[in-house]
């Protein structure tokens, strides 16, 4: 078995930034150093809620007519269980597409109502975005579109702040590691680590280690 080829000191130093950036994501580092940080202001949170609360009611009201329309197109749809699964698998063409849309919209309506009750306003924004971007059969009123755009803007503003802090902490970690690897002490520790890998200590099961044997005597 060939011996491991370790990088030189210069190569090891040059890998400082790479080591930091690949050890964990900047988001993991941020969550470890600043757990449970809120990136939006109280005023922004209140504005978001003021937009999302009526939007949830409006969205649910818009979903219901489309759900009823699709149900009318699928009068033989079983209520639930294995019968519905068997019915769904046998569908083809437009009937299959209608059934897929119907199931998705029914689930969305349940999620919207559940999120409204639990005041999960981000979920309301997300569901609005799904309809806006992927379901042209439902026309969202201009006021609701404006509300959704504003909610997205508020979310992006908070995300931008979070991103800036994550980048700052990552760069700080890079700078510290670059400085650390430039020291003789860090290089000595690295050589010790390599030696431990190349020549690991082996203690057989049932054998008393030298330290323990000395203590016993």
Q: Would the pLDDT of 215 be above 50? A: no
Q: Would the pLDDT of 167 be above 50? A: yes
Q: Give tens-digit pLDDT for 170-187.
A: 999 999 999 999 999 999
- What's the pTM value of the predicted model, to 2 decimals? 0.80
- What is each CA distance from 92 to 71, 84, 88, 187, in whole angstroms? 16, 14, 9, 67
pLDDT score recorded for residue 207: 60
Q: Give tens-digit pLDDT for 129-144.
A: 999 999 999 999 999 9
The total of other beta-carbon atoms located within 10 Å of residue 129's CB is: 14
Q: Where are the domains of the chain?
A: 42-164
């Amino acid at each position: 078995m060939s011996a491991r080829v370790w990088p030189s000191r210069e190569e090891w130093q040059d890998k400082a930034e790479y080591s930091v950036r690949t050890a964990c994501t900047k988001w993991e580092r941020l969550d470890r150093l600043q757990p449970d940080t809120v990136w939006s202001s109280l005023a922004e949170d209140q504005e978001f809620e003021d937009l999302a609360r009526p939007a949830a009611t409006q969205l649910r009201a818009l979903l219901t007519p489309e759900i009823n329309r699709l149900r009318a197109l699928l009068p033989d749809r079983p209520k639930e269980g294995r019968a519905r699964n068997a019915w769904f698998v046998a569908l083809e063409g437009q009937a299959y597409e209608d059934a897929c849309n119907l199931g998705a919209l029914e689930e969305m309506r349940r999620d919207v109502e559940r999120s409204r009750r639990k005041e999960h306003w981000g979920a309301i924004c997300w569901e609005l975005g799904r309809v806006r971007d992927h379901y042209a059969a439902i026309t969202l009123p201009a006021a609701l579109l404006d509300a959704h755009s504003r909610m997205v803007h508020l979310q992006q503003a908070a995300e931008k702040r979070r991103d800036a802090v994550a980048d700052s902490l990552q760069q700080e970690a890079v700078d510290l590691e670059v400085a650390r690897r430039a020291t003789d002490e860090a290089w000595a520790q690295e050589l010790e680590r390599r030696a431990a890998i190349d020549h690991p200590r082996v203690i057989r099961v049932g054998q008393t280690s030298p330290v323990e044997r000395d203590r016993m005597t």
